[in-house]
């Protein structure tokens, strides 16, 4: 981006993955042991961390993670979503902003994720160096419309850290 006069900026990100049996499901850095199927992905398929990274980049008009980690490049096969998120966070800091709070919604039919809400919030907060209370985590089913699918939507508020 070019320099911005705004003290606050809003970012929005999404990610989706197809689910298939025999693969791990990881959401926000938390392995979902109860999952019967996991993400079909070029990377570890953590749709939460991918969507958070895209939200950070979008807030500063820095494009999206596919530009930094094209899935056509074999060098990025199996890349850790934590690494992708760390890169996005580093760019945000270079532009002298920091995330202040995050709201994320995971749409997944099964398993029930409610019992993991605090763990996912804690994990995402730690990666963003935020208090747990600044990460809101919501879950929705697709009402059976997309049983083999995980979808994540994320908003983030970025606050300027220096004039």
- Annotated binding site, which residues? 15-17, 42-43, 50, 64-66
CA distance 75 to 69: 9
Shortest CB 7 distance to Mg ion, Å: 31
108 binds ligand C5P (CB under 6 A): yes
The listed partner (ligand C5P, Mg ion, none) that binds 15, CB under 5 to 8 Å by sort, is Mg ion
Taking the C-alpha atoms of residue 46 and residue 133, their distance in angstroms, rounded to an integer, is 21
Which residue in the set 112, 118, 131, 161 belongs to the binding site for ligand C5P (CB under 6 A)? 112
Residue 129 sits in the site that holds ligand C5P (CB under 6 A): no
Q: How many residues does the chain have?
A: 163
CA distance readout (Å), 139 to 35, 91, 111: 15, 29, 11
Residue with tokens 């800091």: 93
Both tokens of residue 94? 């270079």
Q: Name every residue whose Cβ is closer than 8 Å to that of residue 20 and which is 6 or more positions away in sequence.
A: 37, 38, 40, 148
Q: Is 44 in the site for Mg ion (CB under 5 A)?
A: no
Q: Count residues near Mg ion (CB under 5 A).
A: 2
Asked if 22 touches ligand C5P (CB under 6 A), the answer is no
Site string for Mg ion, 2-21 (x = CB under 5 A): -------------x------
Give the binding site for ligand C5P (CB under 6 A). 108, 112-114, 139-141
């Amino acid at each position: 981006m070019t320099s911005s006069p705004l003290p606050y900026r809003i970012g929005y990100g999404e990610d989706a993955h197809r689910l298939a049996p025999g693969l791990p499901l990881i959401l926000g850095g938390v392995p979902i042991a109860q999952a019967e199927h996991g993400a079909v992905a070029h990377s570890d398929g953590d749709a939460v961390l991918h969507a958070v990274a895209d939200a950070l980049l979008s807030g500063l008009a820095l494009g999206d993670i596919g530009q930094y980690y094209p899935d056509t490049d074999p060098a990025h096969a199996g890349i850790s979503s934590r690494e992708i998120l760390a890169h996005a966070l580093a760019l945000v800091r270079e532009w002298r902003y920091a995330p202040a709070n995050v709201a994320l919604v995971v749409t997944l039919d099964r398993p029930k994720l409610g019992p993991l809400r605090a763990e996912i919030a804690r994990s995402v907060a730690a990666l963003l160096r935020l208090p747990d209370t600044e990460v809101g985590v919501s879950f929705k089913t697709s009402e059976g419309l997309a049983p083999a699918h995980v979808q994540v939507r994320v908003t983030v508020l970025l606050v300027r850290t220096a004039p």
